[in-house]
Amino acid sequence: MHIIESLQWRYATKKFDATKKLTSEQIEVLKNAFSLTATSFGLQPIKLVVIENKEIRESLVEHSFNQRQVADASHLLVICIQDDFTTEDIEKYFSLVKDVRQTPDEILNPFKDYLVDTFSSKTKEDMHTSFKNQAYIALGNLLNVCAVEKIDSCPMEGFNPEKYDEVLDLKSHNLKSALILPVGHRAEDDFMKDLKKVRKPLDKSIIEIK
């Protein structure tokens, strides 16, 4: 299917069919797509929590402005950002580059020193803002991959991150929840599923400079 047809097919699913599950192959595709998301300097300061457990998802509904998609979808994806980010994370990244590409230290070290220096002048708040921006890139990537793979999804900011962090014990993983994405299959009676897309005409959302 042409990519634009896939993007037309995708919509923010309001009601999932709670009886339908995604296959483990489909979940693997989403996990790999998340991993292949571009991140600043390749540092991957984001992590994906994949929740299938229905009981946990039911307990999260009240912390999601009672939006049932969280429990009725097949799985709930929680895109998290790293809380503390230190020089050790930069060191680990470069040792991974070295392992994967066998790049010599003489080439890696100047870049590593530059990154250590750059990050040392950032506040925790600066880092969180940057990491959250990267979480949105992962969300966009996952939304498009879902569309191509015919997986229904609903991008969501409508939840209480502090409560999610508590319920999922994210602090113990040095994480904070940033965005959520329930994935699964649309319900036959989702009133949104046959509605036309509402978008400004292209000439109102795009400026072309030739």
Ligand X SMILES: Cc1cc2nc3c(=O)[nH]c(=O)nc-3n(C[C@H](O)[C@H](O)[C@H](O)COP(=O)(O)O)c2cc1C
Residues that bind ligand X (CB under 6 A): 11-12, 14, 67, 154-158, 197
Nearer to ligand X, 85 or 164 (CB): 164
The minimum distance between CB 37 and ligand X, in angstroms, equals 16
H-only helix segments in 149-193: 161-167
Closest residue to bound ligand X by CB? 158
Contacts of 78 (CB under 8 A, 6+ apart): 48, 49, 51, 164, 168, 177, 179, 180, 181
- Taking the C-alpha atoms of residue 10 and residue 176, their distance in angstroms, rounded to an integer, is 28
E-only strand ranges, 104-206: 152-153, 175-184
The minimum distance between CB 92 and ligand X, in angstroms, equals 30
The minimum distance between CB 208 and ligand X, in angstroms, equals 23
Phi and psi angles of residue 88, each rounded to the nearest 5 degrees, phi first: -60, -35
The minimum distance between CB 29 and ligand X, in angstroms, equals 20
Nearer to ligand X, 2 or 199 (CB): 199
- Taking the C-alpha atoms of residue 95 and residue 112, their distance in angstroms, rounded to an integer, is 10
Nearer to ligand X, 110 or 158 (CB): 158
The minimum distance between CB 106 and ligand X, in angstroms, equals 43
Nearer to ligand X, 68 or 98 (CB): 68
Nearer to ligand X, 15 or 112 (CB): 15
Two tokens at 69? Answer: 């998609």
Two tokens at 59? Answer: 């307990």
